Amino acid sequence: MTIFNRNDKPADATAKPPANDIVQPQKPAERPQATAQPLSPPAKTGASMPSVISKALKITGQLESTEDIQIDGEIDGDVRGVGVKIGNNAKVKGTVYGDEVELAGTIDGKIEAKKVILNGTARMSGDVVHQDIKIESGAFIDGHLKPEFGKTASKPASVSTLKPVTSVAPAPEKSIEARH
């Protein structure tokens, strides 16, 4: 009996604990890997994929992107992007800068963009500075439409953050003027 017991115990001891050790680390490790793996491929391939701010995300602060942004959540602050799409139930409180801004949700603030699209569900409280605008039936606008994008002095400031090249050009001029 003692021999069997001795044989059984080491056998169990060698078989089970390693199995547990292997299984336990794998289970917690699989979850992050499973979540991380689908994320890395779009990061490599998807240069055209926009950043997504889903409806469950609320941001208080400033956003800046050199690519497209899809906003379905709530933002309290300024947004700077190239293509900015603001979804149906999204809310933005602040100024939205971009090359192309498509609004289907709510903005309480300002839009400064080359091309502006206000969908039927859009609710815009504030001024729209644009070069090219499309307004669908049903859109609510409480503010001024100003076709002045790129004309006034304040515009290059907003563009300069998107395209550093333009900011480089006026900067030396100012410094030269200041020197003279």
Partner 1 sequence: MFALSRRSDTRTAPARGIELPPSYLRSSLSIRGVLEAECELTIGGKVVGRIAALTLIIAPGGHVEGDIIARDVVIGGYLKGRVFAPTVTVEETAHVDGRIFHHTISVARGAHFDGRMPWRPVSYFETLDQLPETQP
124 contacts 138 by C-beta, under 8 angstroms = no
DSSP letter at 171 equals H
To the nearest whole angstrom, how small is the minimum distance from the Cβ of residue 44 to partner 1? Answer: 10
- Of 81 and 109, which has the nearer Cβ to partner 1? 81
Measured in whole angstroms, the distance separating CA 39 from the mean position of its chain's CA atoms is 15
- Of 26 and 152, which has the nearer Cβ to partner 1? 26
To the nearest whole angstrom, how small is the minimum distance from the Cβ of residue 146 to partner 1? Answer: 28
Identity of the amino acid at 102 = E
Identify the residue among 2, 5, 35, 45 touching partner 1 (CB under 8 A).
Answer: 35
Compute φ and ψ for 50, nearest 5 degrees. Answer: -80, 160
x/- contact string, 129-168, with partner 1 (CB under 8 A)? ----------------------------------------
To the nearest whole angstrom, how small is the minimum distance from the Cβ of residue 60 to partner 1? Answer: 4
CA-wise closest residue to 72 among 51, 54, 97: 54
Q: How many CA atoms lie within 13 A of 104 on its CB side?
A: 9
x/- contact string, 50-89, with partner 1 (CB under 8 A)? xxxxxxxxxxxxxxxxxx-x--xx---x---x--------
To the nearest whole angstrom, how small is the minimum distance from the Cβ of residue 28 to partner 1? Answer: 6
Identity of the amino acid at 139 = A
Quote the Cα angle for 102-105-111, to 5°.
Answer: 50
Identify the residue among 10, 17, 18, 42 touching partner 1 (CB under 8 A).
Answer: 42
Q: Tokens 């603001």, residue?
A: 86
**For the chain, how many residues are written?**
180
Note the residues at the interface with partner 1 (CB under 8 A). 25, 28-29, 31-32, 35-36, 39-40, 42-43, 46, 49-67, 69, 72-73, 77, 81
